[in-house]
């Protein structure tokens, strides 16, 4: 352990930048990374404003941040796929490799998983972190640190697209054009959807999503989404519906958007249980899928970024210096409709 400067959530509503004791020794199978860029995520902001998410409560000071990219500066014993100087991004969730879930390949839902900036685990808004090499991924030369820090939320979109089992030419509907919804739409299009009808109430968010080829924006304040989907699909319905708003209300009408035999992928996490229209779901034999973070999606996400087929740069709204990271969080709390992703950078 060693004292390191970090952005610390002391308790609900109170952030400080100060020294805090954090792991510093690079053990076998681990690498030490100099952090370059960290994204501000809705969950980090929620811990700041509410002090908890469901059962996860901030009971003692916790370093925030889990969407990170940086440079390897030390390599532990036995690590062969990384070397000092490699530019990397990191999966923030570390499962128990011997758990039953991990052995089944479902390591993201291992009950023993520890995840950066999920109490009581510290996040990575600090200059250096130690991490298992197996959860550290090399970035291609043409993928910047800023994009590397976008891999974490993009991997959620990739997991959603994978769970949907998209067929080439499918029509998708994405409810919610926040960072997650927009990245789900991008992943669905990369995965073969011919178009993604993206619905939101906030026009600025829709304008950002609409920059991507294949996105059809629908402002649900002005247009009836069910009518639009029906019109665009010749009354058949969409093949895949991704619920990415987290709004309970979205579930009231969602079944009507899907085609017979279609799939609904629940990505958004409503705070309270929602009503479920079993009869409509059954008469259409709708398949329901759920998503919790991601498993085995970092390699694919990085490959798509490296291929140039996916560009996440238009989603980065503003970058703050580490010294201004409290400002970045206060800006995220403002929830400007023109902001998608805010990032914090350690180097000029």
Q: How many amino acids of this chain bind ligand NAD (CB under 6 A)?
A: 27
Instruction: Please report how close the Cβ of residue 184 comes to ligand NAD at its closest, in angstroms.
Output: 9
CB of 88 to Zn ion, least distance (A): 17
Residue 66: partners with Cβ closer than 8 Å, 6 or more residues away: 38, 41, 43, 44, 92, 115, 116, 117, 118, 123, 124, 152
Q: Cβ neighbours of residue 37 under 8 Å, at least 6 residues apart?
A: 68, 69, 70, 145, 146, 148, 149, 319, 343, 344, 345, 346
152 near ligand NAD, judged by CB under 6 A = no
268 binds ligand NAD (CB under 6 A): yes
> Per CB under 5 A, does 33 bind Zn ion?
no
Task: Kindly identify the residues of this chain, within the stretch 85-144, that bind ligand NAD according to CB under 6 A.
Answer: none
The span from the CA of 191 to the CA of 189, in Å, is 5
User: Is there binding between residue 151 and ligand NAD (CB under 6 A)?
Assistant: no
Count of beta carbons in the 10 Å neighbourhood of residue 261? 11
Q: Which is nearer to Zn ion, 35 or 258 (CB)?
A: 35
Q: Based on the shown chain and the rule CB under 6 A, indicate whether residue 244 belongs to the binding site for ligand NAD.
A: yes
246 touches ligand NAD (CB under 6 A): yes
Q: Are 128 and 347 in contact (CB under 8 A)?
A: no
Distance CA 20, CA 30 (A): 21
Residues 287-306 that bind ligand NAD (CB under 6 A): 291-293
Smaller CB distance to Zn ion: residue 146 or 259? 146
Classify residue 348 by burial, with Cβ atoms within 10 Å: 0-12, 13-18, 19+. exposed
Q: Does 206 bind Zn ion (CB under 5 A)?
A: no
- According to CB under 5 A, which one of 41, 62, 146, 155 is a site residue for Zn ion? 41
Scanning residues 191 to 220, which ones bind ligand NAD (CB under 6 A)?
Answer: 199-202, 205, 220
Q: How many CA atoms lie within 13 A of 138 on its CB side?
A: 9
Q: Can you give the binding site for Zn ion, defined by CB under 5 A?
A: 41
Q: Can you give the binding site for ligand NAD, defined by CB under 6 A?
A: 42, 156, 175-181, 199-202, 205, 220, 244-247, 249-250, 267-269, 291-293
């Amino acid at each position: 352990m060693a004292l390191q400067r970090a952005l610390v959530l002391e308790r609900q509503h109170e952030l400080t930048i100060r020294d805090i004791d954090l792991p510093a020794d690079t053990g076998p199978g681990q690498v030490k990374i100099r952090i370059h860029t960290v994204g501000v995520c809705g969950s980090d902001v929620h811990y700041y404003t509410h002090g908890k998410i469901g059962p996860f409560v901030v009971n003692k000071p916790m370093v925030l941040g889990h969407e990170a990219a940086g440079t390897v500066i030390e390599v532990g014993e036995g690590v062969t796929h990384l070397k000092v100087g490699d530019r990397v991004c990191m999966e923030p969730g570390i499962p128990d490799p011997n758990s039953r879930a991990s052995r089944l390949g479902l390591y993201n839902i291992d009950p023993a998983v520890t995840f950066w900036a999920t109490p009581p685990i510290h996040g990575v808004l600090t200059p250096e972190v130690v991490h298992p090499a197996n959860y550290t991924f090399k970035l291609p030369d043409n993928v910047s640190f800023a994009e590397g820090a976008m891999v974490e939320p993009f991997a959620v979109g990739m997991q959603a697209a994978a769970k949907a089992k998209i067929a080439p030419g499918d029509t998708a509907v994405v409810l919610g054009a926040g960072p997650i919804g927009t990245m789900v739409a991008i992943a669905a299009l990369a995965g073969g959807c011919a178009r993604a009808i993206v619905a939101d109430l906030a026009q600025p968010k829709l304008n950002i999503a609409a920059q991507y080829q294949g996105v059809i924006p629908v402002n649900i304040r002005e247009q009836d989404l069910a009518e639009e989907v029906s019109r665009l699909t010749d009354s058949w319905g969409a093949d895949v519906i991704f619920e990415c708003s987290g709004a309970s209300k979205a579930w009231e009408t969602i079944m009507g958007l899907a085609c017979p035999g279609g799939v609904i992928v629940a990505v958004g996490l409503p705070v309270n249980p929602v009503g479920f229209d079993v009869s409509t779901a059954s008469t259409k034999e709708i398949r329901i899928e759920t998503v919790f973070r991601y498993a085995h999606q970092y390699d694919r996400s990085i490959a798509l970024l490296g291929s140039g087929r996916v560009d996440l740069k238009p989603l980065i709204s503003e970058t703050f210096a580490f010294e201004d990271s409290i400002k970045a969080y206060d800006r995220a709390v403002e929830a400007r409709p023109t902001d998608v992703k805010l990032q914090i950078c350690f180097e000029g």
